[in-house]
Chains A and B, each alone.
Chain A
Amino acid sequence: MPVIWMLAIIAILAGAGIVLGRKKALASAGGDSRLLHSLPGYYGANVALFVAAPALLVLAAWMVLQPILIESRVAATVPEDAYETQGDLSLILADVRRVARGLDLAVEQGTITAERAGDMRSEFTDVRQRLAEVGVAVGTEVDRTTLTAAQRYRVLEGRADLAMNVVVLLLAIGGFGLMYAKTDKDFRARNSVEAAIMVILIGASTIAILTTLGIVLSMLFETMNFFRQYPALEFFFSTTWDPSFSGRGGSSELGILPLLWGTLYISLIALLVAVPIGLFSAIYLSEYAGKKFRGFAKPLLEVLAGIPTIVYGLFALITVGPLLRDAIASPLGLGTSASSVMTAGLVMGIMLIPFVSSLSDDIINAVPQAMRDGSYGLGATQSETIRQVIIPAALPGIVGAILLAASRAIGETMIVVLGAGAAARIDANPFEAMTTVTVKIVSQLTGDTDFSSPETLVAFALGLTLFVITLGLNVLALYIVRKYREQYE
């Protein structure tokens, strides 16, 4: 039974729950809703919630976990001599999935019977041909291992689907039965709904946390893979980034320092541009500007945040880069490259202005008027008030906004590729081309990739390092905000 049917059944049961739960509660009170413990609507909502929430949660979890479990069971049935590396195995498994999908289609369209699909042998049937008839292309001849595994895959999947449908339906019906039976004028439906809503909220946040955890763990595993093939010490402390390209052999030098240098240098310039301009315009907008000007300038500034970064990149490549080179770098003898740290930093700074200004503006506006009154009442001028009362009061939020901008700067890729180039180097001259961690992650993962070579796996180590850095920044931001938050009120 397709999942859509399950959803429909759950929806129908929940709908029935809303109507019947309410009806039964009212009936138990003799039609007088004042005798009910809770408002009548709560009784219906309670039944519906207990129908839908557990069933949907289990359905979702099942659909995520099922393919993973089946895959590992099938992988175990593939004989060990059929593959050499984990990479080969995953190729075989991909074929297995494709063949299984093809058999499903063939059965559905009636070109093969369900029994044939289950017991045909690759020795006697040209499976590839049969699958091509239903529009599924398989790269190589389907050999015995693959076919057997695919058939096993289909059997397991069939069983699992059935089990899922039964369990989910039972949960939905059980929830309905249980709560409908409990519905009565003295039943505390309001509290029950409250508890159910809390569970749903917890569920949502658990998903958020688990996904993050999943991403981090998968990065961590691949990074460990990388460090098994490449010494960690070299990765963190070597000042050379020189990957050899796959196929050509030779050893790569994969030091992160030049990339980190580029990242931090460009981010620093970007922040030096964005923070003063953003902060000052926020102060002007919130403290000095008239209502009309503010209503017009603030959205305009926020438009900057909506421009895709690739457009900023073009701007860097075509306008800012050549301009800086011709106006400053060449005359001063600082370099002849249009791609430079300065170009990328300036343009990225412009991109970050609205982040800083918009957030700071909201935060400054949140400082209570009473603070300003207190300061004006003591004979302070406007700028004294801003410097000595408003900024300190808004500081935690402003620092948060700046760190957020810093995270963005560190993670930015497009502007760097187009503005600063792709040459990894450590240099103090801001008019030299340099590059960042994110750019190298992209370049290591594009083109021919072999997920067992250090040249590719290094991307995960780079990503994880970047993640740790931005995480550190965010933790710092949280810490600062927590530390000073009490002083607001």
Chain B
Amino acid sequence: MNDMRLTERAVDNNGTKIRAKGVQVYYGDTHAIKNVDVDIADKTVTAFIGPSGCGKSTFLRCINRMNDTISVARVEGDILIDGEDIYDKRVDPVQLRAKVGMVFQKPNPFPKSIYDNVAYGPRIHGLAKDKADLDGIVESALRRAALWDEVKDRLTAPGTGLSGGQQQRLCIARAVATSPEVLLMDEPCSALDPIATDQVENLIHELRANYSVVIVTHSMSQASRVSQKTAYFHLGEMVEYGDTGDIFTNPKDERTENYITGRIG
């Protein structure tokens, strides 16, 4: 654990972007998230780690109300973004999701061309003045997702025809193109080779200048490389939350220690 890059550990005191208070999630009778409280800072990368099935994706989906689309899911408690309760009746989930972008665990490109996939968000939100502007947005999004060089000659080819890793980066580009304030990334590098992983991690560093990023990852080294804050989930509970350096070098909870030293999970 000594060779970990902990240079960026110093957390800027940026204030809270997302505040969760007593969040409970039920899928029918399954209690998937148990009373989670967390403050996620602005302009910070926060990593969610924990064994498979512990509720990381579930909690992530609460932050942009994607759980609304699952009929059996029920969310209790409060989640505030910029001080506003996103589960309030007056909040429009559509508006919210434009502000809180998401990269899903499984790549899900639309059955459209690569270009149209990336241009999808900017088009519905009217982000581009004209075609040239849109071209620019698409290109920069693809560049930031480290996909541009591979696809620049076939932007009209279907996005579904890309390899699994390329699709994953296409979905990242698609989310970035909408310029969200918060980006939720669910295992964005699970199908990527080390080179592409490195590029996506660079993107995350870059995004941190303006956004707050929440990333779910199964790679301990990735969490320590990219994040300033880390939350450890265990069986639906958030067991430990703190500065990434502290969590990895000096975990307070026994379960966290077991997990990061590879004894469980």
Q: Which residues of A contact B (CB under 8 A)?
A: 291, 368-381, 384, 388-389, 392-393, 484, 486-489
Contact = CB atoms under 8 A, between A and B. Distances in A.
A141 B102 CA distance: 91
B158 A373 contact: no
Contacts of B175: 377-378
A488 B111 contact: yes
11 contacts: A371-B108, A375-B110, A376-B69, A378-B97, A380-B124, A388-B124, A389-B110, A393-B111, A486-B158, A487-B111, A487-B158
B106 interface: yes
A249 to B, nearest CB: 64
B174 A378 contact: yes
Interface in B117-136: 120-121, 124-125
A487 B109 CA distance: 10
Contact of A393 (B69, B94, B95, B110): B110
B110 A379 contact: no
A373 B104 CA distance: 9
Contacts of B97: 376-379
Nearest to B93: A376
Given A375-B110, A376-B69, A486-B160, 18 more contacts: A370-B106, A373-B66, A373-B104, A373-B108, A374-B109, A377-B66, A377-B104, A377-B175, A378-B98, A378-B120, A378-B178, A379-B96, A379-B98, A381-B94, A392-B110, A392-B111, A484-B111, A487-B158
B102 A377 contact: yes
Interface residues of B, number: 30
A374 B104 contact: yes
Interface of B: 64, 66, 69, 71, 94-99, 101-102, 104, 106, 108-112, 120-121, 124-125, 158, 160-161, 171, 174-175, 178
B160 A488 contact: yes
Given A372-B69, A374-B104, A379 B124 contact: yes
A376 B97 CA distance: 7
A373 B69 contact: yes
A191 B111 CA distance: 40
B108 to A, nearest CB: 4
Q: Classify the interface of chain A: helix, strand, loop or mixed.
A: helix
Contacts of B125: 379
B161 A486 contact: yes
A115 B22 CA distance: 103
B126 to A, nearest CB: 12
Contacts of B160: 486-489
Nearest to A374: B108
Nearest to B184: A377
> Top 4 A-B pairs ranked by shortest CB distance?
A379-B98, A487-B111, A370-B108, A377-B102
A391 to B, nearest CB: 11
Nearest to B103: A377
A472 B121 CA distance: 39
A336 B111 CA distance: 51
Most chain A C-beta atoms within 10 Å of own C-beta, residue among B66, B97, B175? B97
A395 to B, nearest CB: 9
Nearest to B70: A369
Contacts of B121: 378-380
A374 B98 CA distance: 12
A379 B120 CA distance: 10
Contacts of A375: 110, 120
A393 B64 CA distance: 25
A352 B161 CA distance: 36
Contacts of A370: 104, 106, 108
A312 B134 CA distance: 53
B108 A368 contact: yes
Contacts of A488: 111, 160
A456 B96 CA distance: 70
Contacts of A389: 110-111
Contacts of A384: 124
Nearest to B125: A379
Most chain B C-beta atoms within 10 Å of own C-beta, residue among A368, A373, A488? A373
